[in-house]
Amino acid sequence: MFHSLIVLSDLILEETGFLPDDVTTPYSYFCQWNRKGNPRYFNEIPIETFDEIKANNNGGEIYDEEVQKARIIFQTPGTTDRMVKEVLYHEKGNENHPYARDHYNRYAFRFAQTIYDKDGHASMKFYYNPKGEVVITENLLIGDVILNHQGQVYLAWLKKRLVIISIS
């Protein structure tokens, strides 16, 4: 019982990718992310052959033939760290119409991806294991959570239920 209380005190519902190592989220628990490596820097983002990355200390952009197609968000804007937190992909030349957001952790791993609907609203979020397989799927519009764990598929309905599953 006492051990469960300790686990609960360090359990956080939202995953940012930059939480301290001693903090567990249901996402890091089920996806079994490696806690080794260094942050991904802006010049390490995978891009297509003729794309170009431009960046300063506040953030960056990915261009295709001089037309912006993605925005790079740093974990600590305004510093020289340039650690990539997210890459927001949008319609070429239209920053107001996103279609996907890649989420990176402090070990350079793309741990999640958010997908946007045609109106630019975040609709689905996928969390990956180190093999790149989807482990948790969140429907951001209705709140359902699907967990793929040890060969079984669980419909968690709400994040709160995902927490209960992870601590039981």
| pLDDT confidence bin for 12, thresholds 50/70/90 | low
Q: How confident is the model at residue 140, as a pLDDT?
A: 92
> Which one has a higher pLDDT value, 6 or 56?
56
Proportion of the chain above pLDDT 70, given as a percent: 86
Q: 101 pairs with which residues across the strands?
A: 88, 114
Backbone angles phi, psi at 167, to 5 degrees: -100, -5
Q: pLDDT tens, 50-85? A: 999 999 999 999 999 999 999 999 999 988 889 999
The DSSP secondary structure of 96-148, one letter per residue, reads T-EEEEEEE-TTS-EEEEEEE-TTS-EEEEEEE-TTS-EEEEEETTT--EEEE
| pLDDT confidence bin for 1, thresholds 50/70/90 | very low
Mean pLDDT of 112-132: 96
Mean pLDDT of 19-30: 85
* Rounded to 5°, angle at Cα 43 from 138 and 51: 85
Around Cβ 26, how many Cβ atoms within 10 Å? 26
SS3 label, residue 86: strand
Mean pLDDT of 19-43: 88
pLDDT surpassing 50 at residue 4:
no
SS3 label, residue 9: helix
Distance of CA 43 to CAs 51, 82, 94, 154, Å?
12, 9, 23, 38
Of 11-15, 72-76, 137-141, 150-154, which gets the smallest average pLDDT?
11-15
